[in-house]
Chain A
Amino acid sequence: MKFSSRVVVVPQENIDTDQIIPARFLKVTDKVGIGSHLFEDRTEFQVEKGSQVLVAGNNFACGSSREHAVWALADFGFKAVVSTSFADIFRQNALKNGFLPIVVDPKTHALLKPGTLVTVDLAAQTLSIEGGPTVTFPIDSFAKTCILENLDELGYVLKHEAVISAFEKSA
């Protein structure tokens, strides 16, 4: 997984999941077209289509567990969000959808201006900034393998059926 894109920046800290996708759009039973409501009530963010990398302020996607937040970002066309930190549940949800929560230090974060061209290389775990540094980012090693090799986490756990059954008997 390697891609280059100009970034879109939503500079605020603590952008919560209600900002990403307001609750009134959670009444659906599928994921179709959910990206059309991304940041629906935050028009001042001026997030337009065409970019694959969103840059957001610290503690991105705090709040609710709604996976709709990831679905909306991905459906809109993003493949990664770069921030200085992410809420735990969002990070898990993102990785399960092959969507990258990329953590960088504040100095690197400050280099990312609207329109900055970046290249994300998951295998190398690097974010390269055009005319700037290439930095490495941490990512859960298991999630990385799953995304790169297109492995299915549920399939992985299902393979442990015998161990799960044994655990249930012993409990």
Chain B
Amino acid sequence: MTARFDDAGRQLRPGLWETVNERYPGSMITKDDYVPLARLRRPLAESRLTFISTAGVQPAGTLPFDTVHPVGDYTFRRVPSGATPGELEIHQLKYPTHGAARDLNVIFPIERLQEFAAEGLIAALTPHFFSFIGYNMDAERLERTLAEEIADAVVADGADVALMSPA
């Protein structure tokens, strides 16, 4: 079956993105304040970029994320930043993957990031990108464990700047 989105203006009605949590019920962290901004230590062209994603992308053959656990999977995978899309696969059940099935870059833009590093917009990519699944019903646990573990791993990988994509 081919999905039809030709009248996308109607389907994605104005303000739809104000109701995502209503339509995809899940846990949500609510904060009352903002964290202070960190500053780039060097220009972008001299910075090493990492990418962190909740898309459930992982190297083919690694332990699949547990997509059916009732409270979620609080582990993450390292994805080699030099991988090709063909070496990766997606394990998740919570977002539409018809685009990613044809071109992984719509949710995990690994080839675009490789291009930017080759062209010099950024100096390099960290050796790994970081991936987990967005279905985690215990937001407090995620914040206390997974968020801290990934943040430490990002530091260990020598990142100067992080692009993040909550799928």
Partners in one complex: no
Chain B residues packing against A (C-beta within 8 Å): none
